[in-house]
């Protein structure tokens, strides 16, 4: 594309038109993803997207099952080692799988195997802890057996909280002490969007 300045001389300028599917790649699910009456991405305060990051490692379970999920016992075991979950944090599950390789494998096998959160753990984090978001190194916050009923999506997002799917490099992040910055454009009515999820530690 070219523009013309006041002297009539063409000025080189490059510009693209982008068309995105909201829920692809590393992306955030806004509450409105499971109900238009809930907050869209544009309505989530910035203060809710810069939060302490906690990493719960379930890679030992995931090595035995591609449908391993976070359960309340995993959260309690984490707290015995590191103390109570920080208020307002994001709890990320490290399964050790590459989310995009797993997605390709599932597509090829016509399967829904996925690590994620169990509904009991999601309820615990929402009702007994002050957690703002959850994140998974998979392409769904629900573990495989819960697809396609999506109980974690339905409960968690409708509680006004957000989730990140397809997060990567969690093996490089400490269990506690990092700050998560979710780089999400505040687009009105968006139910989600690809994001840059940055851990500072």
> Which of 120, 111, 115, 106 has its CA nearest to residue 166?
115
Q: Say if domain 21-200 classifies as CATH 3.40.50.20.
A: no
Query: Distance between CA atoms of 134 and 157, rounded to whole angstroms?
Result: 10
Over its length of 201 residues, how does the chain's per-residue pLDDT go in tens digits?
A: 455 566 666 677 888 998 989 999 999 999 999 999 999 999 999 999 999 999 999 999 999 999 999 999 999 999 999 999 999 999 999 999 898 988 898 888 888 899 999 999 999 999 999 999 999 999 999 998 888 899 999 999 999 999 999 999 999 999 999 999 999 999 999 999 999 999 999
pLDDT at 1: 47
Distant-in-sequence, close-in-space partners of 199: CB < 8 Å, separation ≥ 6: 53, 169, 172, 173, 178, 179, 180, 181
Domain boundaries, the chain: 21-200
Whole-model pTM over 0.85: yes
Antiparallel, parallel or unpaired: β 196-200 and 89-94: unpaired
Distant-in-sequence, close-in-space partners of 8: CB < 8 Å, separation ≥ 6: none
Query: Distance between CA atoms of 107 and 71, rounded to whole angstroms?
Result: 26
């Amino acid at each position: 594309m070219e523009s013309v300045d006041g002297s009539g001389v063409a000025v080189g300028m490059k510009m693209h038109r982008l068309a995105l599917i909201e829920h692809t790649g590393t992306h955030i699910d806004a509450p409105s993803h499971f109900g238009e009456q809930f907050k869209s991405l544009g309505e989530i305060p910035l203060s809710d997207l810069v939060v302490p990051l906690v990493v719960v490692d379930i890679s030992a379970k995931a090595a035995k099952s591609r449908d391993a999920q976070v359960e309340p016992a995993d959260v309690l075991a984490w707290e015995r080692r590191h103390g109570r979950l920080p208020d307002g944090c994001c709890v990320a599950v490290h399964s050790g799988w590459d989310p995009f390789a797993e997605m390709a494998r599932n597509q090829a096998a016509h399967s829904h195997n996925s690590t994620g959160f169990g509904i009991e753990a999601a309820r615990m984090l929402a009702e007994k802890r002050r957690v703002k978001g959850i994140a998974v190194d998979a392409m769904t916050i629900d573990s495989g057996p819960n697809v396609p009923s999506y109980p974690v999506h339905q409960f968690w997002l409708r509680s006004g909280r957000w989730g990140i799917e397809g997060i990567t490099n969690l093996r490089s992040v400490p269990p506690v002490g990092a700050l998560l910055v979710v780089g999400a454009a505040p687009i009105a009515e968006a139910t989600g969007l690809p994001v840059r999820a940055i851990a500072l530690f």
